[in-house]
Amino acid sequence: MKLFHSNSIIPPLIPAVGCTSLLQPLNVSVNTSLKGMIRELTDEAILDCESVESFEKWSVGQRRILTTNCIGDAWYKFCIEKKEIVEAVFRKVGLSLPADGSNDKELDIKGFGDIEIGDWKIDRREEEVALHNNIPIAENDNDAIEYIANGE
């Protein structure tokens, strides 16, 4: 941990399987709305193009250009209409909160109450060692889990 801290590296927590809906704000609040806008704009653009009398057949390039333009338009529209949602959800799960822990009270992750992360720059080595010392060392021959006593 000291090596991380001395190089201003924030050690991340990699969430377990099944936490996607809890911690990925884009999946939770953004993707569905954005995909809906893209679908709506693309359908409208295709209908407009195909309703022209001179329309014959789509080329791959034409379809790609139309889709790219629709995605750009949807993103622009989304950023204007849903800006507050994006900002709020990133704060809610802590992705845009200060790393010093000063706003941890804003964290609101489903299933976790009163989360306190704290300042990542503070060396918590003594606390970690104390936590490890309270864990009983199993007396069995199972080598599937390796435990290092005293946090070493």
> Which sign does the torsion angle of CA 10, 16, 21, 27 carry?
positive
pLDDT tens digits along 72-128:
999 999 989 988 888 887 777 777 777 777 877 777 766 667 666 666 566 655 555
**Could you write out the DSSP letters of every residue in 41-66?**
HHHHHHHHHHTSTT-----HHHHHHH
pLDDT tens digits along 9-44:
776 665 566 666 666 666 667 788 889 999 999 999
- 125 falls within a domain: no
- 45 falls within a domain: yes
Write the single-letter amino acid at 46: I
Tell me what the mean pLDDT of segment 139-151 comes to.
Answer: 51
- 138 falls within a domain: no
- 1 falls within a domain: no
DSSP letter at 100 equals: T
- 85 falls within a domain: yes
- 121 falls within a domain: no
- 36 falls within a domain: yes
What total of structural domains would you count in the chain?
A: 1
- 119 falls within a domain: no
Domain boundaries, position 67: 21-106
* Radius of gyration of the chain measured on its C-alpha atoms: 25
- 81/137: higher pLDDT: 81
